[in-house]
Structure 1
Amino acid sequence: MLFLKKINELPRPMADFIRLAGRFADQKGMGAYVVGGFVRDLFLGVANYDIDLVVEGDAIAFAEGFCEKFSLHAVTHKRFGTATISGMEGFKADIASARKETYEKPAVLPAVSFGLIQDDLFRRDFTINAMAIAINASCFGRLMDFYGGQDDLKKGFIRALHPLSFIDDPTRILRAVRFEQRFDFKIERQTLSWIKEAVRRSMLHLVQKHRLRDELLLIFNEKMPLKPLKRLYALCGFSYISEGLRFQRHWPHYFQQASKRIAWYREHFANRRHIEPYAIYFSLFFYPLPLKDIKKAMLDFAFHKGASSRLVSLKENIHTIRNGLSKKNAMPSTVWRLLEPLSYEVVLLAEILSRHKEVSRHIEDFLFIYNGQRLHLKGEDLAGLGVEPGPHFKKILDKLLMAKIDGIVRDKEEELRLAQKLMQK
C-alpha cells in the first residue's frame, strides 16, 4: 500500500503512464514492473523522472505496440532488447525484458537470456536496486523484494547480492562507492570484504576502459564528486585509471572552489552558454598528470572530445594565463586575448587553479565587461571608407575591437576616426 501512496505523489502524467503501461501489459499477457533505481528513489522520496520498466516478454514489441496505441515515440535497441519511450510530459521510460545473466569469464559482459522478474532482480548490483513493484491491474502496487532491499534502505546499507558480484563485474566497486556517498549509507561489512578481495585480485585492471569511463563520468556528475573519489582511492587507488594518479591533498580546496564558482557563474550568467560542471571536476581530477599521460588516458578511455579538449587546453595554457593575468596593470585587451579563445569551463578552472587575487579580478572583468563586446562599426562601413576586402580588413576590425575593450574608443564616430588613422598607416 505504500507504493499506492507514493504513486499518487508523483506528477500526474507519470502516474497515468504507469497505470496505462500496466493495463497494456495485461492485454498482452505480460507481467510488468517498475524496477531498480526508480523504486529505490520512490521509497527514499528522491525525485527521479526516468521510469525503469521491466516486462516478462519482448520489451521491444511491448514498447512499439504501446507507442502505436498512445501516439508516443519509441527508440529501440535491438542488440540489448531494450527501448526508450518518449513524448510524455517531463519524463521518459526505459523498457527492458526480464532476463538472466551468465558470466562466462570475470570482468566481461555477460551472456543474456529471457527470464522472470526474480531472475532479473538477482542480476542487479545491490539489494537497494533489486526491488520491483508490480503494475498489472490484478497485483498493482505489490512489492517484489526477494533480497531485503527495503530493509537495507532503512538501515542505510549498500549490500551486494552474492560473493562473486565484484569478480563478475568489477565496475560495481565504483557504483557501490557512488551510492554509499550519495545517500550517506555504509557499504555492508560482508560486501566490503568482497570488494577488497576483488581489489586484491586486481579485477579493475581487467575491465574494458570504456566501461570504467562510464562509471567515472557518473561520479563526476554527482553533486559532490570528491566524496566518492576520496572513498574510492582509499579502497582501491587509481592505478587502473592511470599509473601515476594519486589523491591530491589540495583537491578538497579545488573541488570546493569549483562548486562555489559553478554556482556563481549560474547566478550571474544564466543567459550565456551553459557550462558542464562534470567537465570542471573531470579536469581537476586528471590535471595533476603530465600532459603525455593525460593524452594517453583520454585516448585509452575514449572520453568525450569536448571534455578532453578542455582538459588539454587547460594544461597547455595555464602557465601563460597565470603569468599574464597575475599582473595588476594587465591591459583589458591582453586579458581578452588570453581568455576569449577558451571555453568558460577552462576560464573558471584557470581561476580555481591559480589561487591569485589579480587573476580572479581579471577573469571577473572579462566575464562581466569585456566578453561579448561588439563594435558599432561593420564591414560595410570600412568598405564605405574605401577599404578593399582582404586580410587587412580583419586586422583593422581586430585593432578597433581591442581599442574598444581598452576604452580608447567608445562610440561609432570614434571607431570611424580610428579606422581612418589605421588605414593611413
Structure 2
Amino acid sequence: MVTGASLRDLDFTVEGNPSKIAHELEKGGARIISEDEKLRHVEVLFAGDCEGSISAARDDHYVRPGTRPEIRWSTIMEDLRRRDFSLNAIAISLNPASRGLLLDPTNGLSDIERAEVRALTIHSFTNQPVRLLRVLRFAARMGFKIEQRTQEWFDLAIERNLQHTIAPEDAGGELRAVAREERPSVVLKAWEERDLLEAINPVLAKKHPAYDAIGRLMRVREDLFTAGFRPRLAAPMLLAILGRLKEREQANILQKAGFRSAEVESALGFEEESLEAQRELTGRKMDAPIDAFRFLEKLPLDQIAYLMAESNKSAALSKIRAFLNKWRPVRIALPAVATELEALGMPRGAKFDQIVDQVFAMQLTGRGKTPEEREKILRKLSGIKEPPKKKEKEKKAAAPASHSRRAAPGKKSHGRK
C-alpha cells in the first residue's frame, strides 16, 4: 500500500488470540488454510481470493544470538520491533481510537523511500539464517538494494556459513513464498548468484529451476489479469520451479521442506488432474459451447493456467480462450437480457431464469447479438406476442379541391354600327 504496488495479501496482527477472529471471518466467506496454535498464526483466504493472515502480537526473546527464541505475547509495537526488516515493521492501526494511524517504530517508511532493505539488528541473520534468503527475495521483488550495514552483516553471515544452518522447514517456507511471487525467476536467480539455492535443496541447485516453464506461466498470469481474474498460481508455479527434476526428486524436496503428506500428494498429482480436465474438455460432451462454459466455470483457475501454459491441444486451448475472452463477457452482460425480458412483461421466477439461460446458450453460438434479435428470441421463448399494430384511422374525406372559379363570361356588347 505504501509503495503503490498491487495488493499481494492482507496481514493482520491482534493483541490476543486470532483463532476466534479467523473463525468469525469464516462465517463471512473466508477460508482457513492453516493454523499454527503454537505461534497463534492463521493463514486465511479471504472472500475474493485474497490471501492473508491473522497473527498474535509477540516478542521473540533470545537468550543469546542464534538460539531458539522464547515466545512472549506482547503489544503491537513490540511485535513490530522484533520483525526481520524495517519495511516489514510498518502497520496501520485499526483500533477505533486511532484508526488509520501509521505505526512505524523502526522508520521503515524512510527505507522504502530510499528503496533499501534494512535489517533491524546486527544479529538478524544469526538469529534466523533463513533471512539470508528472505532479504534477497524482498530486494528482488521490489527492485530495492540492500542497505549498506545490512549488506555487511549479510556478507559476514555468508563467511560464517550460516546458510548451511538454515532449517529445512524454514527453507520450505521460502520455497512456498517464491512460488507465490509475481516474478519468481528474479528471486531464484538472485539466490543462484549467491549460491543460496542449495539451501532450498542441493538437487535443485544442481539441475536449476525450469525457467522456461516459469516464464510461460508468468505470461499466462498476465493474460488472466487482463481477462479480469486474480490467479493464485502457487501449485503450478511450484511444479514449474521443480520442472527439471524427476517426480521422485520432487517428492523428496517437498518432504524435506516440511510439506505435509497431503500437500505433497496434491502437488505431485496436480499435473494429472489438469490433464484429466483437458481430456474431459475435449470430449464429445463438451461440443456445445454452453457445456464447455459450465465446465470451465467450475474448473480451478490454477488448472486453467497450467493448461494454457503447457497444453498442446488446440481444441482445449481454443475453448479456454473463448471462455476467457468471449463467453465470460457475454455472461457478465446477462443481467441486461433479464432486464429486456422483464420489460416485455415476463414476471421473475423459475421460467424467467430458464429463458435467460436459454438466451445465454444461444448467445454463445453467436445468436442474439442485437437488441432487436434478442427481443424476437425472448418473445418466442416466453410466448409473449407482439402487441397488435394500431389500426390505421380511416382516412379523412379529402377536402374538395379548390378550383379557381372563372368569372362568368359577360355578354358580348354589340356596338352599333
TM-score (norm 1): 0.54
Tell me how far apart the structure 2 counterparts of residues 291 and 72 of structure 1 sit (CA, whole Å): 36
Tell me how far apart the structure 2 counterparts of residues 91 and 285 of structure 1 sit (CA, whole Å): 23
Residue of structure 2 equivalent to 1:239: 198
User: CA 1:140–1:220 in structure 2 vs 1: closer, same or farther (change >3 Å)?
Assistant: closer
Structure 2 counterpart of 1:364, which letter? S
Find the structure with the greater CA-based Rg: 2
Residue of structure 1 equivalent to 2:109: 150
Residue of structure 2 equivalent to 1:365: 315
Q: How does 1:343-382 map onto structure 2 within 5 Å?
A: 360=312, 363-368=313-318
Query: What's the CA shift string for 1:75-132, capped at 9, x where partnerless?
Result: 8864334568999899798554432212357767521113344421121011011123
Structure 2 counterpart of 1:279, which letter? A
Tell me how far apart the structure 2 counterparts of residues 90 and 275 of structure 1 sit (CA, whole Å): 8
CA displacement at 1:244 relative to structure 2? 3.4
Contact 1:103/1:109 (<8 A) preserved? yes
Tell me how far apart the structure 1 counterparts of residues 39 and 88 of structure 2 sit (CA, whole Å): 20
Contact 1:181/1:227 (<8 A) preserved? yes
Tell me how far apart the structure 2 counterparts of residues 313 and 61 of structure 1 sit (CA, whole Å): 33
Residue of structure 1 equivalent to 2:268: 308
Residue 298 (structure 1) aligned to one of 254, 268, 271? 254
Structure 1 counterpart of 2:179, which letter? F
Residue of structure 1 equivalent to 2:238: 282
Q: How does 1:217-256 map onto structure 2 within 5 Å?
A: 217-246=176-205, 252-256=211-215
Tell me how far apart the structure 1 counterparts of residues 176 and 314 of structure 2 sit (CA, whole Å): 29
Residue of structure 2 equivalent to 1:190: 149
Contact 2:18/2:42 (<8 A) preserved? yes
Contact 1:59/1:83 (<8 A) preserved? no
CA displacement at 1:47 relative to structure 2? 3.1
Query: What's the CA shift string for 1:396-419, capped at 9, x where partnerless?
Result: xxxxxxxxxxxxxxxxxxxxxxxx
Query: What's the CA shift string for 1:176-201, capped at 9, x where partnerless?
Result: 22221222211112212222333333
Tell me how far apart the structure 1 counterparts of residues 207 and 81 of structure 2 sit (CA, whole Å): 38
Residue 202 (structure 1) aligned to one of 150, 161, 166? 161
Q: How does 1:91-110 map onto structure 2 within 5 Å?
A: 94-104=53-63, 110=69
CA displacement at 1:251 relative to structure 2? 5.0
Contact 1:106/1:168 (<8 A) preserved? yes
CA displacement at 1:146 relative to structure 2? 2.5
CA displacement at 1:229 relative to structure 2? 0.7
CA displacement at 1:312 relative to structure 2? 9.6
Q: How does 1:1-400 map onto structure 2 within 5 Å?
A: 41-42=1-2, 44=4, 46-47=6-7, 50-55=10-15, 58-60=16-18, 63=21, 78-81=37-40, 94-104=53-63, 110-136=69-95, 138-246=97-205, 252-261=211-220, 263=222, 277-303=233-259, 304=263, 305-310=265-270, 360=312, 363-368=313-318
Unaligned runs of 5+ in 1: 1-40, 318-331, 334-342, 352-359, 371-425
Aligned-partner SS, 1:50: strand
Aligned-partner SS, 2:78: helix
Query: What's the CA shift string for 1:342-380, capped at 9, x where partnerless?
Result: x767756656xxxxxxxx4xx22354479xxxxxxxxxx
Contact 1:97/1:114 (<8 A) preserved? yes
User: CA 1:289–1:93 in structure 2 vs 1: closer, same or farther (change >3 Å)?
Assistant: closer
Tell me how far apart the structure 2 counterparts of residues 346 and 89 of structure 1 sit (CA, whole Å): 21
Say which structure is richer in helix: 1
Tell me how far apart the structure 2 counterparts of residues 291 and 109 of structure 1 sit (CA, whole Å): 34
CA displacement at 1:160 relative to structure 2? 0.5
Contact 1:178/1:228 (<8 A) preserved? yes
Tell me how far apart the structure 1 counterparts of residues 254 and 20 of structure 2 sit (CA, whole Å): 39
User: CA 1:53–1:344 in structure 2 vs 1: closer, same or farther (change >3 Å)?
Assistant: closer
The more displaced of 180-189 and 193-202 is 193-202
User: CA 1:348–1:246 in structure 2 vs 1: closer, same or farther (change >3 Å)?
Assistant: farther
Aligned-partner SS, 2:153: helix
Tell me how far apart the structure 1 counterparts of residues 239 and 36 of structure 2 sit (CA, whole Å): 32
Contact 1:131/1:143 (<8 A) preserved? yes
Tell me how far apart the structure 1 counterparts of residues 118 and 223 of structure 2 sit (CA, whole Å): 38
User: CA 1:367–1:231 in structure 2 vs 1: closer, same or farther (change >3 Å)?
Assistant: same
CA displacement at 1:155 relative to structure 2? 0.6
Aligned-partner SS, 1:245: helix
Residue of structure 1 equivalent to 2:387: none
Tell me how far apart the structure 1 counterparts of residues 308 and 48 of structure 2 sit (CA, whole Å): 35
Contact 1:230/1:247 (<8 A) preserved? no
Tell me how far apart the structure 2 counterparts of residues 83 and 74 of structure 1 sit (CA, whole Å): 10
Aligned-partner SS, 2:164: helix
Aligned-partner SS, 2:183: coil
User: CA 1:106–1:309 in structure 2 vs 1: closer, same or farther (change >3 Å)?
Assistant: farther
Unaligned runs of 5+ in 2: 276-282, 285-302, 321-417
Tell me how far apart the structure 1 counterparts of residues 145 and 185 of structure 2 sit (CA, whole Å): 17
Residue of structure 2 equivalent to 1:7: none
Aligned-partner SS, 2:14: strand
